[in-house]
Amino acid sequence: MMQALHARNPFKRWFGPREEQGEALPVQLGARRSAYTHSQAGVSPQAAPMQTVDMALIWVVGILLTWGLVMVYSASIAMPDNPKFAGYSHTHFLSRHILSITAALVAALLAFQVPLEKWERWAPALFVVSLVLLALVLVPGLSKDVNGAKRWLKLGPTNFQPSELGKLAVLLYAANYMVRKMDVKEDFFRAVMPMGIAVVAMGVLLLWEPDMGAFLVIAVIAMGILFLGGVNVRMFASIAAILLIAFGLMIALSEWRRERIFAYLDPWAEKYALGKGYQLSHSLIAIGRGEIFGVGLGGSVEKLHWLPEAHTDFLLAVIGEELGLVGVVVLIGMFLWLTRRIMHIGRRAIALDRVFAGLVAEGVAIWMGFQAFINMGVNLGALPTKGLTLPLMSYGGSAILINLVALAIVLRVEHENRRMMQGGRS
């Protein structure tokens, strides 16, 4: 089973460790290197166990969180000058973002304590809970309406976005499902249809809000885990074709979605410049002003009531304006590293025959990488406008909370990997 998963994994060559050659497994290489290092130092491997926490991953996540905090403050500092936010202080969004990160870090520490076997056991229940919460959003009086979209549940002084929990729930459920269906993965109806029905059920609730961006991310997460879990290429191509046709029909049958596509194709047209193309055109202006090195931190003009949602969906535009091409390239490089690192952790878990843990980590890599790609593509005018935040950086308590919990689960996967590599129990 382990060899079949590696053979079907298209990311093996690129995402593999630099020193890995031939058929050697990461666990073997790590064990040899550890033993050699300790023998050179005159210390037995048992006396000097390797570190069981991935500090490099923690540092990169910490840098992204801190950078995001600075940019959220920069992008939102002038918002109280707008009559709509006249009652807010200049540090309103900064202080709320700090509280969100603090709460998310506490939740992540708690999530790290939970063994992967418990996450595997809880996966179906968590999926059901996420469906119930998505349904509650549609109940009048329980949700917060923003620009005609009902995506947030009212929880006293704060709000919660169930679609963020839905991403994690689908990821865990899909990994759990593939482990249970390993023996029938060549049978389309027995292996894929039940999972497809579950994703469609969540998709219907998301489109009712509407939140097509979240549905797109959830569909890609589920598809990625099915593929990495061993579903054959013909079956995978059939599912991908069905999804493409479905998304095409959603756009064709919805006038406002069609208008968004037309605005994306020509945001400068008179018909769209002050309407559906407004955000995109001002995002492009902001990035164009930044040129190579930017106008300087805090010097953005577009954030001064020209660019809507500058602290959430269009944070990258402010980064591009203030820090220039250099800042954007560094950010892209950090997300590439993050995705590669998490994917490698997943591959190492699968090499240790921990399939559920490996699929969960690889699913998180797909989630973070794909959502960052969509957000950056939208800000740069390469993709149509979607309501997706930049992971770990954009303002939004629900997104920060679930992102950090997901990364804590990845750190737990690596923690258990390293304990097994030392000869202990996961």
Q: What is the per-residue pLDDT for 414?
A: 96
Place of tokens 């027995």: 190
**Cβ–Cβ < 8 Å for 119, 354:** no
32-36, 120-124, 206-210 — which one is most confidently predicted on average? Answer: 120-124
249 pLDDT tier (thresholds 50, 70, 90): confident
Angle subtended by helix axes 55-76 and 397-421, to nearest 10: 170
* Size of the chain, expressed as the number of residues it contains: 426
50 pLDDT tier (thresholds 50, 70, 90): low
Q: What is the per-residue pLDDT for 240?
A: 82
If one compares 201 and 18, the residue with the highest pLDDT of the two is: 201
Rounded to a whole number of angstroms, the distance between the first and last alpha carbons of the chain is: 20
Question: The tokens of 146 are what?
Answer: 């923003």
The C-alpha atoms of residue 423 and residue 426 are separated, in whole angstroms, by: 9
Residue 32 pLDDT > 70: no
425 pLDDT tier (thresholds 50, 70, 90): low
**Cβ–Cβ < 8 Å for 426, 416:** yes
Task: Kindly report, residue by residue over 131-149, the tens digit of the pLDDT.
Answer: 999 999 988 888 777 766 7
Once rounded to an integer, what is the mean pLDDT over residues 304-320?
93
> Is the preceding omega at residue 10 within 30 degrees of 0, hence cis?
no
210 pLDDT tier (thresholds 50, 70, 90): confident
Residue 41 pLDDT > 50: no
Residue 340 zone, left/alpha/beta (φ > 0; ψ -120 to 50; rest): alpha
Task: Kindly report, residue by residue over 81-106, the tens digit of the pLDDT.
Answer: 888 788 888 899 999 999 999 999 99
If one compares 5 and 327, the residue with the highest pLDDT of the two is: 327
Once rounded to an integer, what is the mean pLDDT over residues 2-21?
46
Q: What is the per-residue pLDDT for 29?
A: 36
Q: What is the per-residue pLDDT for 35?
A: 36
Residue 109 pLDDT > 90: yes
Task: Kindly report which listed range (259-268, 292-301, 313-322) carries the lowest average pLDDT score.
Answer: 259-268
**Cβ–Cβ < 8 Å for 115, 412:** yes
**Cβ–Cβ < 8 Å for 410, 368:** no
Cα angle, residue 57 at apex, residues 178 and 404 outer, rounded to 5°: 65
Helix (H, G, I), strand (E, B) or coil at 158: strand
Residue 295 pLDDT > 90: yes
**Cβ–Cβ < 8 Å for 391, 372:** yes
Residue 31 pLDDT > 70: no
* Average pLDDT value over all residues in the chain: 85
